[in-house]
């Protein structure tokens, strides 16, 4: 298995990703007063958080022994960039995301999440599945984090309305989660994550449970939101197609225990549109490159047995 350093050298196209990380994220010596959310803004050079992991590993100790979820993760995600992580099941993608979010901690190496201006970075996570509070309306779900931050009622409901408008759900603000479709719930989850105006958006297979057409629409919607807000995004998916449409760079992880096998720079111009990306001649080449690496890892990881095509 190549070292993370050799992987960096093997990056395809022009790289900008790099590696580093450390420690516990979300900490900064410079506490700042709460910032007012300002979703609709133009991107700025210093927007978003920077994530740097260096030799990060996470070992879990269980009753049956210890498990290395990931090892030697060496990665840098630049502020305002869109990083997509792909890899075989069980290679540590969710574990890595949880560590970046500060919900878990590395057992080796260092992981650092920071802002260029030194202020403490904030993050929000979006998962797949039912993550909305069923006893709150869509608007109340989106406003929930703002309530916790102390924003007054009228302001937070207005803000929630604005965000629901951004994801095309303003007419459903008073609906309960069970009254809307899975795609609408997922859009609400994204609006809820954006409500707190995070510097870093962490998305763990957010569209995994959706049908293909809705998934395409949400991918483009996410791209438009990201272009407007300038957040740093780390997005986990099993779909190479999705990765190529969204990413500035794709981090391909090895089979369990996961480390970075390759970083692929995605050259398609922005703003991106799915049909244009897919009709770009480079799309097929990059897809083939990513799949050939992933296939090797999936087969190495034992997900397929001999004789599987
Ligand atoms: N809390 C835990 N205790 C023990 N082992 C864990 C824990 N969390 C994760 N693991 C192990 O770490 C490894 C990586 O798990 P993780 O959920 O990060 O994988 P993943 O890449 O997100 O997989 P998937 O694509 O299936 O979601 C797995 O072997 C898993 O069993
Ligand atoms: Mg996972």
**pLDDT mean values, one per 10 residues, the chain (309 residues):** 30 25 31 36 62 97 93 96 96 96 96 92 87 95 91 94 90 96 90 90 90 86 87 96 97 94 96 93 96 91 49
Q: Looking at the CA of residue 96, tell me the nearest atom of ligand 1.
A: 18
For residue 123, the cross-strand partners are: 200
Q: Looking at the CA of residue 92, tell me the nearest atom of ligand 1.
A: 18
Give the H or E element holding residue 227: helix 212-229
Confirm or reject: Cβ of 223 under 6 Å from ligand 1: no
Distance CA 307, CA 309 (A): 6
Structural domains in the chain, CATH included, are 4-30+37-122+197-300 (3.40.50.300)
Residue 69 Cα to ligand 1 middle (Å): 6
Cα angle 265, 80, 276 (rounded to 5 degrees) comes to 50
C-beta pairs of 284-292 under 8 Å, 24+ apart in sequence = 286/12, 286/244, 287/240, 287/241, 287/244, 289/12, 289/264, 290/86, 290/240, 290/243, 290/244, 290/250, 290/252, 290/264, 291/240
Residue 109 Cα to ligand 1 middle (Å): 18
Cα torsion 37, 17, 21, 203 to 10°: value is 50
The pLDDT, as a whole number, for residue 302 is 61
The pLDDT, as a whole number, for residue 23 is 28
The pLDDT, as a whole number, for residue 303 is 56
Task: Give the three-state DSSP class for 307.
Answer: coil
The pLDDT, as a whole number, for residue 309 is 36
The pLDDT, as a whole number, for residue 283 is 97
The pLDDT, as a whole number, for residue 20 is 23
Instruction: Answer yes or no: are the C-beta atoms of 15 and 8 closer than 8 Å.
Output: yes
In this structure, which residues have their CB less than 5 angstroms from ion ligand 2? 94
Residue 94 Cα to ligand 1 middle (Å): 7
Residue 174 Cα to ligand 2 middle (Å): 32
The pLDDT, as a whole number, for residue 182 is 87
Confirm or reject: Cβ of 92 under 6 Å from ligand 1: yes
Looking up tokens 């992580």, which residue turns up? 85
């Amino acid at each position: 298995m190549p070292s993370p350093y050799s992987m960096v050298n093997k990056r395809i196209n022009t790289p900008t990703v790099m590696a580093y990380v450390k420690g516990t994220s979300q900490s900064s010596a410079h506490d700042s007063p709460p910032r007012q959310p300002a979703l609709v803004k133009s991107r700025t050079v210093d927007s978003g958080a920077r994530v740097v992991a260096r030799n990060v590993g996470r070992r879990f100790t269980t009753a049956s022994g210890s498990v290395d979820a990931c090892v030697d993760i060496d990665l840098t995600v630049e502020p305002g960039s869109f990083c997509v992580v792909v890899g075989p099941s069980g290679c540590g993608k969710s574990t890595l995301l949880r560590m970046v979010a500060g919900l878990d901690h590395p057992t080796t190496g260092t992981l650092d999440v920071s802002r260029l201006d030194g202020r403490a970075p904030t993050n929000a996570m979006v998962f797949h599945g039912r993550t909305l509070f069923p006893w709150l309306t869509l608007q109340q779900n989106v406003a929930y984090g703002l309530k916790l931050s102390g924003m007054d009622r009228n302001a937070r409901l207005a803000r929630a309305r604005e965000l629901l408008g951004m994801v095309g759900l303003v007419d459903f603000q008073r609906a309960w989660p069970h009254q809307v479709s899975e795609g609408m719930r997922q859009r609400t989850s994204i609006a809820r994550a954006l409500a707190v105006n995070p510097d870093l958006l962490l998305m763990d297979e957010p569209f995994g449970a959706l049908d293909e057409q809705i998934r395409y629409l949400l991918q483009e919607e996410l791209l438009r939101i990201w272009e407007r807000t300038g957040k740093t995004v780390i997005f986990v998916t099993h779909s190479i197609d999705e990765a190529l449409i969204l990413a500035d760079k794709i981090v391909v992880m090895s089979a369990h225990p996961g480390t970075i096998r390759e970083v692929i720079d995605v050259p398609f111009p922005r703003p991106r549109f799915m049909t244009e990306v897919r009709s770009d001649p480079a799309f097929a080449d990059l897809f083939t490159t990513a799949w050939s690496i992933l296939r090797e890892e999936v087969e190495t990881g034992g997900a397929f047995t001999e004789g599987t095509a």
